[in-house]
Amino acid sequence: MGQGHTPRSAPGRWRLLVTGPADGPQNMAIDEALLGRAQSSGECVFRLYEWARPTLSLGRNQAARGHYDLERARSLGIDFVRRPTGGRAVLHHRELTYSVTAPSPGDETLVAAYERINTLLVKALATLGVPVRAADPSRRAAGPTAAPCFAEPARGELTYEGRKLVGSAQWRDRGALLQHGSILLDDDQSSIVGLMREATDAPPAPATLRDALGREPVMAEVSDALWSAVRALADPLATTLEPDPTLFREAELIAARYRDDAWTWRR
């Protein structure tokens, strides 16, 4: 991973990248390739993307092997992929996924980086007309079990009227970070329990943009709001990232790992 030939940009320079629907391995590989780009270029990229097929993404350290009914998932047209980041299972279907890849100063805590990115998300959602707050639960976050990610908010995750709207996770590697997460358009997260082999109660309904707005916004609305937030709070000179064949060639190489059952069902 990493693109040593990428010219280094001015510190703090931001780019916006919107990519078309892709399968799970491709989406995870593009994020990882962007992480390598941040390591070599010093740029920050805010990516917004969708999924070509309904896909259940598993957290990096989540126990998943033997917990899901793969035949039922296959009959419903649901794929699986394991993320490079932590957390619990998310169904990517009626949602938009964002990622931020950026240099990570050695003295910046995970919480500080998380809050820095949250500030952009909060402003963008407010622009759409959705006031959100960072969760501050009284108890520790649940471990990486097979339970759905949106069952409850972890500290710092964004909520609307007390219910989780944005689920996020972060990974750091060699001086850069990747944070990605889901912004729910509509609610189908409770269907995850129907894929589990062990009987599990359906979680409380999360918040969705449809709940908050009375309609489902289109990708362009969300990307415009995010872009405005980046330019207002992070980099007034931010520009779009043009399609980069080198980046996508690297992502294709990385995607082989995310297609490998040895990675997906590693635990």
- Where along the chain do its domains lie? 14-264
With bands split at pLDDT 50, 70 and 90, how would you rate the model's confidence at 91? very high
pLDDT of residue 243: 78
Collapsing DSSP states into helix, strand and coil, what is residue 266? coil
pTM: 0.90
Q: What is the pLDDT of residue 202?
A: 78
Give the HSE-up count for residue 98: Cα atoms under 13 Å, Cβ half-sphere: 24
How sure is the predictor about 1, in pLDDT bands with cuts at 50, 70 and 90?
very low
Superfamily name and number for 14-264 = Bira Bifunctional Protein; Domain 2 (3.30.930.10)
The residue among 148 and 103 whose pLDDT is bigger is: 103
Annotated catalytic residue: which of 56, 100, 102, 149? 149
Residue 11: per-residue pLDDT = 52
- Range in 64-68, 93-97, 110-114, 210-214 with the lowest mean pLDDT: 110-114
Answer yes or no: 149 catalytic: yes
- Give the CA angle between residues 136, 121, 129 to the nearest 5°: 95
Tell me what the mean pLDDT of segment 124-151 comes to.
76
CA distances 81 to 7, 115, 138, 140, Å, are 32, 27, 31, 26
